Each structure stands twice: as C-alpha cells, then as structure tokens.
Structure 1
Amino acid sequence: MSAVIRLGYVHIRVTDLEEARNHYSNTLGMEVVAEEPGKLWLKCWDEWDHHSLVLEEGGVGLVKLGYKVESPDDLETFEKRAQNFGASTGRVSAGENLKVGEAVRITLPSEHALELYTDMEFVGTETGSLNPEAWPRHVRGVGTHWIDHALVPCDDPGLMERFFTEALDFRTAERVVESIEQPNVIGSWMSCGESPHDIAFIKGPNEKLHHFAYHLEDWSAILKAGDIFSMDDVPIDIGPTRHGITRGTTIYFFDPSGNRNEVFAGLGYRVQKDFPTINWTVDQLAKGIFYHARELNDAFTSVFT
C-alpha cells in the first residue's frame, strides 16, 4: 500500500535572510546546513535528513511543502490519484531541490504547492544512531527536535479533506463542523501516520500559510521556549497553553518577517487505523483551539502570510 510518511520540509519566503537566520538558528536552535546567495537550508538536531526548512529571501509566506513518501512507485500512484481528482501535477527532477531526489509537484485545490519525494540525502541526527546520548549538549535556544506539521487556510476545507483522504490516504483525526445537523467542514486535522496531525486546514484564503510547527519534548520545554522568546523579543501570538483539538501544548509566535511558527508538545493520542474521527462543532471552536482561555484572538484567525 502506498504511504506518505511525514512532513519533510517547509519552504518559505522571508524579508531579511540574516534576521531569519538568527531566529531559526539561534532562537529555535536549528543548524544551517547549506547556503547560497538569498537562500538557506536548515535542520533540527533530531532530524536525520539533510534539511527540513528552506528560507528564501524576498517577501513572506509559503513557497511549498514537501512530504516524504515510502517508495518511487508511490510517486506514480499519488500522481495518478491527484490527476483523477482534478489537480494539476508535474515532475521535479532529482537535484532541482537541493539534496532531494525526483518528486511530484501537485497544485492542491487550495492552490498551495505540495511536492512528494522519496529521497533526501541522509546526514543523521546530532546524537547519532550508535549508543546515543539523550540530547546534544551544544543545543542552542529552544532546541527544536523536528518540524512536525503545517496548517494552511483554504476556501473549502471540506474539499481539501476529501483530496487528502482520496488521493493521499490521510485520515481525519479531528474536524470542526458547523453543527452535527449541518456537517459542513470548517477545519480539518489530518494524519498520515499516528500523529494527531501532519497537516491541517482551516477556513481562509487560498495559497497562504497559517503556521508550521516544531515538536518539543514536553510542557516544561514549552515553558522554557516561552522564556527564550521573551529573552529574544520574539512576538508571541498566543500561549503557553493547551489545545482541545489534538490535546497538544503550544506557543504560537512570529518570525521576524511575520511568518507564524508554533512549538508543540504532547502526542495527545495515536491515530491508529481504527481511530474514529473526533468532531467539534463551530460554537465550541474557541475551546477546541485554546482549551484554557476558550477565546480566539483576532490575529490568530486573521493573520496569514
């Protein structure tokens, strides 16, 4: 059976590359693994592939998302399914993305660019795979473990949910509907493995980014991250707090260009193959998003890049 494994990389635009380098490398603790004029590639200490973030100078917002799949045959399978759904596709040659093999580019119903690939150069984690230590002693700042998921706005979350279910074999862990009687989809949190979400959608403008998130170990790591954001004058959007949806603990914050990031901890639950979708009604959305305060701030529902 064909399978998407995980979110492999996020490629975004930033207004000032050196400010972005400082934010992602020194505050969040990522390592710069390659650079060229106007572009940086970075990885977290607990990731084994070459990179998970591409920064490109010139504007703000999302360029594309890259998801890793199991085998080369999966590329053809998912390409055909996307085409049958009505999405446009194209092939990406090996090396067109630095250190990444052949890929299939899909223009999603939301107009976002999604690339599926099988191979990226393996470089290993900072702790290695032979008698490893629990964490590297030279970690900087927050010490993010890995890029975890992305959330994008779209005009029709229900259509996106259908596409990821039918074309890419994702499962819906949780969704927000208008009501049980009127189950129009307002938001959807979807998994390709056992994580509560590998991608999520909320109602909003097409082709934009709401946020991408980094995994941290636990609630104490979230609190420490909040301290570091205060030390480094990072603008915090919301948190530290807990989600009702996914049960994760969280802080949302902005990079110097205004792209929203998140640090996220707590698996919450495992989305196994027999996991039933959890439904929230829109009148309880604020509690679902921010479990403690139970209210949405204006920036969270209106700021996209």
Structure 2
Amino acid sequence: MALTGVLRPGHAQLRVLNLEEGVHHYRDVLGMVETGRDEQGRVYLKCWDERDHNSLVLREADRAGIDFVGFKVLDKATLDKLEGDLRAYGLATERIPAGELLATGERVRFRLPSGHDIELYAEKQAVGNGLQVLNPAPWTKASENGIAPVRLDHCLLYGPNIAEVQKIFCDVLGFYLVERVLTPDGAGNVAIWLSCSHKVHDIAFVEHPEPGKLHHLSFLLESWEEVLRAADIMAMNNVQVDIGPTRHGVTRGCTIYAWDPSGNRFETFMGGYQPYPDYEPTTWTFDGLGAGGGLDYPQRKLHESFLSVVT
C-alpha cells in the first residue's frame, strides 16, 4: 500500500514515579538507546533499529500513565491538511512549536473522546540506527543490549466512547479497522484494532469508563526465540510478568506482558499477519476473547489483571 498520510507510530510520553528507575528499566533491561535529556528533565530513548531521534519520552510524575501518543505524517503539507480535517470534523487542535519536544518539529495535538491526547508531526531529527547506509551490517552492538526491540510498535489505550474514536481514526486520519471484539450483547464493539499501514495494528482501544488510561506500550521483536529470550531477561532482572510467553488469537501475535517499576504495562511482541485496507475485519465475540483464545490462545482464558489493571 502507498505510504501517505499518517505513516506510523512515532513516539509516546510516559509518566514514571522514579525517573532513574524508569531509565534503568527501559535503557538497560528493555535495551533502548538513550538519546538525550531536556531542560524539563525528560529523558528520550529509541529502539536500536529506529532511525528517528526518539520514540519514548519518560517524565517523572506522582502517578504513572501516558501523557500523549504521536504519529509521524508524510510531510508538512499533510500535517496542515490533517489539522484542517480534524477541525472540520469538530475537534479542537493545538499547535506545539518545534523544539518543545527534543529533536522534533511542530506538532498538532488533539484530544480524543476517550480522553487521550494524540499528536501528529512531520519532522524529527534522523540520527540513524548505528549502521552505515552503504552495504550495511545486519545489526549493531546496541542490538545486543537487554531485550533490544527493533521499534516501538503500537499501544493499547482504555477509555470511553471508542465508537467515536474509531470514526476519527478511520474517517479523518485514514486508518482502517483490522479486528474487533463485540460487546456481550453483540450490539457494538468493546475493543478495536486499527492500522494505518499493513501492520496488524498501529493503535488499539478498549471501552472503559475512566478516560485517558494506558493499557500497554508494545515493542517489536523479530522472532519467537527473541520473545523467549526476553522472558529470561525479565526473570533475571526481577521484572513482574503479567501474561506470557504466549500467543494471541487476536492479531496472531506472540507476546509477553509485564510491568515497569512504576506499574506501566509494556509488551514484547512479534508476529501477527499483514492486512490491507480491503480486508474484511476479523470479528471476535466477547466469549471468544476468553474461551475462543482471543487473548491467550493456548490457555483459552481471560486473565483478570489484563482486563482490569491500567495506568
């Protein structure tokens, strides 16, 4: 599919209770690369194979959770057009000047009915992945540090009115629905997986009464063996695991869910299939999420912590 409009997830700003504990977790255990610190005290990190300056920003706060999620768009003209489209749809937007986020250009921020702040931006400093661009090697020394995911892959957010959220992403931003879980009565969706690419999802939402909640940030690994290695590294570093290693029925991804020291859930993820916008969305009944293996295919059960613990 043509890469136009919204290209990919670009960054997320996460609140942590102790900044240096958070940095140790994401830099030394997960294996991200620290790329800078700003005057506000925020710490910037990227995955080893990402070309842009940062994909994760850590901010110390008195409660854990997510501040905002940013998506990179094709160019400045696309940014201007999408801001106009959002305004025409009835959403208020805010222009954040270049440089407010380190190495990042001007951003357009808007709030979803779910209570989440989403940003669009066109420019971020390219720092490369540590490999030459002519006849490159397949990996760098940074890819041996910690779990070493290759990129920030997606996030799952919890909040109200996801039916309206789906309209905004699909009708305004050009995403498409890949999978969904029906409500118990089958009348609507309790969960949606949305893509702006040919990934099985770039963002997902679950209906939840409290607005603005984070379920998890997901980091991509390249094989099942790397997921199992991630489990070993988590155990050796006393990282508390929620679920896994296992496979989802939804998205067919292989996964471990665990918590950082502040209680923010993160995922190490691989697999899934490659959808296209003309595919019919896959539908799961509410019962199928548990007994049908939607969440945990081998055990075919729901995990209470997975459904209830958010930040």
Question: Paired residue for 1:14?
Answer: 16
Q: 2:203 aligns with which of 196, 199, 203?
A: 199
Question: Paired residue for 1:31?
Answer: 33
Code of the residue aligned with 1:28 in structure 2: it is L
- Separation of aligned partners in 1, 2:37 and 2:255: 30
Alignment deviations for residues 47-79 of structure 1 (CA, whole Å, 9 cap, x no partner) = 000010000011310011010000112122221
Question: Paired residue for 1:147?
Answer: 152
Aligned-pair CA distance for 1:199: 0.2
Question: Paired residue for 2:164?
Answer: 159
Aligned-pair CA distance for 1:34: 0.4
- 1:5-154 matches, within 5 Å, as 5-36=7-38, 38-58=41-61, 59-138=63-142, 139-154=144-159
| TM-score, length of structure 2 as denominator length | 0.94
Q: Secondary structure at the match of 2:269?
A: strand
Aligned-pair CA distance for 1:132: 1.7
Question: Paired residue for 2:297?
Answer: 291
Q: Secondary structure at the match of 1:210?
A: strand
Which range moved further: 199-208 or 247-256?
199-208
Question: Paired residue for 1:208?
Answer: 213
Which range moved further: 46-55 or 203-212?
203-212
Q: Secondary structure at the match of 1:288?
A: coil
For structure 2, the 5+ residue unaligned runs are: none
- Separation of aligned partners in 2, 1:80 and 1:290: 41
- Separation of aligned partners in 2, 1:303 and 1:90: 31
- Separation of aligned partners in 2, 1:243 and 1:41: 30
- Separation of aligned partners in 2, 1:127 and 1:77: 34
The question of whether the paired residues in 2 share the 8 Å contact of 1:248 and 1:264 is answered with yes
- Separation of aligned partners in 2, 1:290 and 1:86: 39
The question of whether the paired residues in 1 share the 8 Å contact of 2:153 and 2:202 is answered with yes
Q: Secondary structure at the match of 1:79?
A: helix
Aligned-pair CA distance for 1:97: 1.4
Q: Secondary structure at the match of 2:35?
A: strand
Alignment deviations for residues 79-102 of structure 1 (CA, whole Å, 9 cap, x no partner) = 122223322211111112111111
Q: 1:233 aligns with which of 238, 244, 253?
A: 238
Alignment deviations for residues 209-247 of structure 1 (CA, whole Å, 9 cap, x no partner) = 110100001100000000000000000000000011110
Aligned-pair CA distance for 1:128: 3.4
Q: Secondary structure at the match of 2:93?
A: strand
Q: Which runs of 4+ in 1 moved over 4 A?
A: none
Which range moved further: 252-261 or 67-76?
67-76
Which range moved further: 131-140 or 68-77?
131-140
The question of whether the paired residues in 1 share the 8 Å contact of 2:8 and 2:71 is answered with yes
Aligned-pair CA distance for 1:137: 3.1
Alignment deviations for residues 247-293 of structure 1 (CA, whole Å, 9 cap, x no partner) = 01000000000000000001x22122322111111111122111111
Question: Paired residue for 2:183?
Answer: 178
Q: Secondary structure at the match of 2:43?
A: strand
- Separation of aligned partners in 1, 2:298 and 2:186: 27
Aligned-pair CA distance for 1:7: 0.4
For the aligned residue pairs, the C-alpha RMSD in angstroms reads: 1.5
- Separation of aligned partners in 2, 1:46 and 1:128: 12
- Separation of aligned partners in 1, 2:249 and 2:130: 33
The question of whether the paired residues in 2 share the 8 Å contact of 1:89 and 1:105 is answered with yes
- Separation of aligned partners in 1, 2:250 and 2:186: 20
Aligned-pair CA distance for 1:162: 1.3
For structure 1, the 5+ residue unaligned runs are: none
Percentage of matched positions with identical amino acids: 42
